[in-house]
Structure 1
Amino acid sequence: MEPTARARKTPLPGVGARYDMTTESGRHLSVVVHQDARRFLAFHDPEDDDACKDATALAPHEATALADLLTPDPVGHLQQHLEIDLVTEHITVSKRSPYAGRTLGDTQVRTRTGASIVAVLRRTSAVPSPTPDFRFAVGDTLVVVGTREGVGAVAELITGG
């Protein structure tokens, strides 16, 4: 079992909060989160908590990018061992589609192709995981996931091509 790191939170009245942790190598790392959402990454002297050795301000997009880099990918190791041939494609329901005005269940997409329609984008909204009674409209964009062959078969089915 891997060791877990715990951040300690210290309220900073009028400022925000400071989150501290000590790394396995003994470095004292802090993130100060201001009330206005500014963030600062800093290294402190473990002997003197108020002595900051180095710090840098992070813009919101930089904090997000750093968090993404530091967050372990729970399935990343699978890609080293498996070759997964999945693709995602957007397919538009046109006037010529034999399924315009018909339901998802009518298509029998998964049974016929092995691919799945995982969402439908309609104007300015999205319908995730549409149910079999979901009715397609002209202009809908279907988000399809499957193998290259399966997604191609869905495109052919939906476009009538």
Structure 2
Amino acid sequence: MRRVLVTGATGQIGSELVPNLQKQFGVANVIASGRREPQGDFKGVYEVIDVLDKKRIDEIVKQYDIDEVYHLAALLSAKGEMHPETAWNINIEGFKNVLEVARERNIQKIFHPSSIAAFGPETPRDKTPQETVLKPRTMYGVTKVTGELLGNYYFEKFG
């Protein structure tokens, strides 16, 4: 059975994804994580991880023998515009830490969602082509484009 780590597990996407992954893989096989303890009545395995702490990511990956990572941790647009350097660090350096641990531990599947924020106003709104202009207008969008490129680089370079 696969063992899955979800970063940013209590965010908008993570809070919907984790229960579905738990149904698919079993509650004990889905390790949810975030910078703080979860609020409310979270069900399942939860670990506090700051994605800027590569050593902690590695500890959890090793401890739970993780096979896949769903990397959802990010600083979104509103806060990213107020704190662009923090957004870059969390969204890019954090993702790089996940990619490095995955490379070092031979994890074959990393899921890192992008966002409509990656496009910008020049992108066609209807029937957006797969290959298109990316000119984001927010730091969050810039980090999403950069994350896509970084993920592609790691895939091409390391498999």
TM range (shorter): under 0.3
Using the size of structure 1 for normalisation, the TM-score is: 0.21
TM-score w.r.t. the length of structure 2 is 0.21
* Structure with the higher fraction of residues in strand conformation: 1
By relative contact order (CA 8 Å, sep 6+), the higher-ranking structure is 2
Please identify the structure whose Cα radius of gyration is greater.
1
* Higher percent of residues as helix: 2
